[in-house]
Structure 1
Amino acid sequence: MKVEIVESDNKSELDSLINECIQDRDVFDIKLTTTVLHEEKIQYTALILLRL
């Protein structure tokens, strides 16, 4: 198993990054998290679990 991590402060950009990462790959699972940073800034993170 391999893990790819993509992060963004914009949901649309995160969606595009996820789509680029999973294109033509065997995806096992995707975990999404949000983190509130200083000054109410939000960071979106996706952990993409891939089968080798």
Structure 2
Amino acid sequence: VKKSVEGLKTSKITGGRRHPLKTRQKFQTDRYPNEALMGDQETSTRKTRGNNRKTG
């Protein structure tokens, strides 16, 4: 899931749209929501900034 491009582009005075100057970086993207599920617990590992890992 990615965040929308809110705040990255604005509209001109004439009503036209401006294109964003940059795109979202990897650490700025959203992740899927952590919803409780029935059954055995599963852990997943994902890469984070600084060559670290997150488990959850």
TM bucket normalised to smaller? 0.3 to 0.5
- Structure with a larger share of its residues in strand: 1
Q: What is the TM-score when the length of structure 1 is the normalising length?
A: 0.33
- Structure with a larger share of its residues in helix: 1
Q: What is the TM-score when the length of structure 2 is the normalising length?
A: 0.31
